[in-house]
Amino acid sequence: MASINLIEAFQDFKDAENIDRPTMMKVVEDVFKTLLRKKYTSDENFDVIVNAEKGDLEIIRRRMIVEDGQVEDPLAQVAYSDAIKIEPDFEVGEELYEEIDLLDFGRRAILAAKQTLASRISDLKKNVLAKKYGDRIGEIISAEVYQVWKKEILLLDEEGNELILPKSEQIPQDYFKKGENIRSVVKKVDMKNNNPVIILSRTSPDFLAKLLEIEVPEIFDGLIVIKKIVRDPGERAKVAVESFDDRIDPVGACVGMKGSRIHGIVRELKNENIDVINWTSNIQLLIQRSLTPAKITSMELDNESKHANVYLKPDQVSLAIGRRGVNIKLASELTGFELDVYRDNEGETDEFDIDLEEFSDEIDSWIIDELKRVGCDTARSVLNLTPEELERRTDLEKETITDIRRILKEEFEKE
């Protein structure tokens, strides 16, 4: 039989390592059985034998030898006189195995078969890729930045598969360069023009959950369970955890000694503040914990409307609300209750204020410590002092004081 070179098609299979050999054989067999049905109307008496190593195949035709004039089905039977022309020793009742020359199908049919085979292999590769990442949704992967665009980043995994990290799934402070390795979570697999598009995310709560699982062995072992995570990416996150072992403090285990476990995650999330709290079915206690670092004085709950009025001391209000209202927004998402914050002493007319710690991403911690040393722990307490007085009472430079006041003023203008 003339050798029809199929090595290129088989090489495509080898390149797609995830396609197993039985699948490969089945696809090749299907393609050539289709060819047989077109020529002989049936493929029942044909065997397609694939040799993937050499890159070729054989098609064997099986027919029963019958007496001359007794042929009822030419596809399944052959006359004795025709059989002995192939091999003189044949007898009636034996089975004749005959190799079919692929060139008998015609060059056009062979070319069409090779194109169909290539197409089927391409579809298989797509299906394998879609299934691989479909099974990994919610898992963390590390991939290399290949191309940075305005609206998305193209990454390559260890097998060279293309992955997409959209701008909307990036932390606002994220900045990546080509060749850099970044971690993210597999969010979903979309199909676009019959091609799988793997979407990654660094803003999903699942990303934080998986980072905690990596850093906290108790979570990985199932001794601590994450009940809920809410995030404002790059700004703040709240994680509610519960322990199945009374001997384990879930919050302490997640934070680690001197914050050793949480610090790595905070760095990965571009200094996102992470509040870890104990989960409880007592909604009043959960709301109290969710508004951390603020301390609540009293609370009015309406379980039917899922609404709560929270009363705090004046100096705690800014902590409860948080910068740009992030803290109270996340607390509402975590508890499922709409929260309204009030000062518990109506007589006071304190202006809205913000704790200096809320500016830790824009003002260095040593500067905040220096301001606290002279009794300034909120934004208004700093602005109430003149630049000259701040320069006299602190060790800060004039330019630094000007920058600090500008940052604080801008925040009040936003509010």
What was the pLDDT predicted at 178? 93
Share of the chain above pLDDT 90, in %: 40
| CATH number reported for the structural domain that contains residue 70 in this entry | 3.30.1480
For 284-349, the DSSP string reads: HHHHHHHTTTS-EEEEEEETTTTEEEEEE-HHHHHHHH-GGGHHHHHHHHHHT-EEEEEES-TT--
Statement to judge: residues 140 and 72 lie in one domain? no
Pick from 59, 62, 84, 80: nearest CA to 71: 80
**What is the tens place of the pLDDT at every residue in 358-391?**
888 888 888 888 888 777 888 888 888 888 888 8
What was the pLDDT predicted at 325? 87
Q: Burial of 192 by CB count in 10 Å (0-12 exposed, 13-18 middle, 19+ buried)? A: exposed
What was the pLDDT predicted at 177? 92
In the three-class reduction of DSSP (H, G, I as helix; E, B as strand; rest coil), residue 281 is classed as coil
d(CA 291, CA 284): 11
Statement to judge: residues 11 and 127 lie in one domain? yes
Statement to judge: residues 61 and 119 lie in one domain? yes
| CATH number reported for the structural domain that contains residue 181 in this entry | 2.40.50.140
Statement to judge: residues 120 and 164 lie in one domain? no
Q: Is there a domain that residue 183 lies in? A: yes
- The number of folded domains in the chain is 3
Q: Is 236 in contact with 217 (CB distance < 8 Å)? A: no
Q: Is there a domain that residue 343 lies in? A: no
Q: Is there a domain that residue 370 lies in? A: yes
d(CA 105, CA 272): 67
Q: Is there a domain that residue 116 lies in? A: yes
Q: How many CB atoms lie within 10 A of CB 223?
A: 16
Q: Which of 146, 176, 201 is the endpoint of a domain?
A: 201
What was the pLDDT predicted at 54? 57
Domain residues for the domain of 384 are 356-414
Statement to judge: residues 23 and 110 lie in one domain? yes
Q: Is there a domain that residue 209 lies in? A: no
What was the pLDDT predicted at 415? 57
Tokens representing residue 125 in the block: 């590769």
Statement to judge: residues 64 and 118 lie in one domain? yes
> Residues 278-307, buried b or exposed e (16+ Cβ, 10 A)?
ebeeebeebbbbbbbebebeebeeeeeeee
Statement to judge: residues 164 and 106 lie in one domain? no
Q: Which of 147, 174, 201 is the endpoint of a domain?
A: 201
Statement to judge: residues 124 and 150 lie in one domain? no
Q: Is there a domain that residue 32 lies in? A: yes
Q: Which of 201, 221, 246 is the endpoint of a domain?
A: 201
Alpha helices by DSSP H, 166-310: 205-215, 217-220, 250-255, 260-268, 283-290
pTM over 0.85: no
What was the pLDDT predicted at 41? 78
Q: Is 38 in contact with 25 (CB distance < 8 Å)? A: no
d(CA 216, CA 262): 9
d(CA 199, CA 184): 10
What was the pLDDT predicted at 228? 95
In the three-class reduction of DSSP (H, G, I as helix; E, B as strand; rest coil), residue 66 is classed as strand
Statement to judge: residues 118 and 28 lie in one domain? yes
d(CA 200, CA 169): 7
Statement to judge: residues 22 and 103 lie in one domain? yes
Positions of the chain with pLDDT lower than 70, given as ranges: 1-22, 51-56, 345-351, 414-415
With the C-alpha atoms ordered 34, 39, 45, 48, is the resulting torsion angle positive or negative? negative
Statement to judge: residues 117 and 17 lie in one domain? yes
Statement to judge: residues 80 and 26 lie in one domain? yes
Q: Is there a domain that residue 23 lies in? A: yes
Q: Is there a domain that residue 233 lies in? A: no
Angle of helix 398-414 relative to helix 365-373, nearest 10 degrees?
Answer: 90
What was the pLDDT predicted at 349? 45
